[in-house]
């Protein structure tokens, strides 16, 4: 069960390390998903939804961010 979306968005905006791995941010306008600690610019709240796992993000058609590597570092 995910925490409240507004709480997750606040964690995303603050890049709060306490939320690392608890959820992933999916950005509709770019089709990318990120860790909540991603250093990229924070998307507008209306464009962000949250998923509990990498598998959920991938299943819904989002691709991993190239800045925070939510699926793990590339080889």
> Is 34 labeled as catalytic in the residue annotation?
yes
pLDDT at 73: 74
Counting residues of the chain whose pLDDT is more than 90, the rounded percentage is: 89
Which residue in 33, 35, 68, 70 is the catalytic one? 68
Which residue in 32, 38, 43, 48 is the catalytic one? 38
Task: Provide mean pLDDT across the span 17-23.
Answer: 94
Which one has a higher pLDDT value, 73 or 75?
Answer: 73
Is the overall model pTM greater than 0.85, yes or no? yes
Which residue in 34, 36, 48, 57 is the catalytic one? 34
Which residue in 25, 32, 48, 65 is the catalytic one? 65
User: Does residue 64 register a pLDDT over 80?
Assistant: yes
User: Does residue 74 register a pLDDT over 90?
Assistant: no
Q: What's the Rg (C-alpha) of the chain?
A: 11
């Amino acid at each position: 069960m995910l925490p409240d979306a507004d709480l997750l968005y606040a964690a995303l905006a603050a890049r709060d390390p306490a939320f690392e791995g608890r959820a992933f941010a999916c950005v509709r306008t770019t089709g990318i998903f990120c860790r909540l600690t991603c250093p990229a610019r924070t998307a507008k709240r209306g464009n962000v939804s949250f998923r509990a796992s990498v598998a959920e993000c991938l299943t819904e058609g989002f691709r991993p961010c190239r800045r925070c590597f939510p699926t793990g570092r590339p080889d």
